[in-house]
């Protein structure tokens, strides 16, 4: 269980890197600066995708409700669970029947 939680946390930590890369910015510098600010307690910091720098999200008017974040995480979990279930179903597929050609 703890391994799964750690993997999930690592996946969430990759989001700023992926967003910065998709925007064409240097993700290593931005994410390093963002993590340093988080460590100092600046929890309202995020990546300003228009300027390609770390900025205060509250001052930019960027907010997300807890309910939206919660639903996104629930949906991601459900999607991952369905993928695992489909994989299990495929692995457990019944064998093909062989036709019995023996005379009666």
- Count the domains in the chain: 1
C-alpha to C-alpha distance for 52 and 27, rounded to whole angstroms: 9
Residue 100 confidence class, pLDDT cut points 50, 70, 90: low
Nearest CA to 13 among 32, 23, 59? 32
pLDDT tens for residues 27-82? 999 999 999 999 999 988 989 999 999 999 989 988 876 788 888 888 988 888 88
pLDDT value of position 90: 67
pLDDT value of position 64: 78
* 47-to-32, 37, 38, 54, 95 alpha-carbon distances in Å: 11, 12, 12, 5, 52
Tell whether 48 is covered by a domain: yes
Residue 86 has pLDDT above 70, yes or no: yes
Enumerate residues 6+ apart whose C-beta is below 8 A from 46: 16, 34, 54, 55, 57, 62
CATH number at 38 reads: 1.10.560.10
The residue range of the domain holding 11 is 1-62
């Amino acid at each position: 269980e703890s391994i799964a939680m750690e993997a999930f946390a690592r996946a969430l930590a990759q989001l700023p890197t992926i967003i910065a890369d998709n925007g064409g910015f240097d993700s290593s510098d931005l994410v390093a600066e963002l993590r340093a600010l988080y460590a100092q307690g600046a929890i309202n910091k995020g990546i300003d995708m228009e300027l390609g720098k770390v900025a205060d999200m509250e001052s930019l008017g960027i907010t997300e409700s807890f309910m939206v974040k919660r639903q996104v995480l629930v949906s991601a979990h459900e999607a991952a669970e369905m993928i695992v279930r489909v994989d299990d179903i495929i692995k457990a597929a019944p064998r093909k029947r062989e036709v019995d050609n023996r005379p009666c």
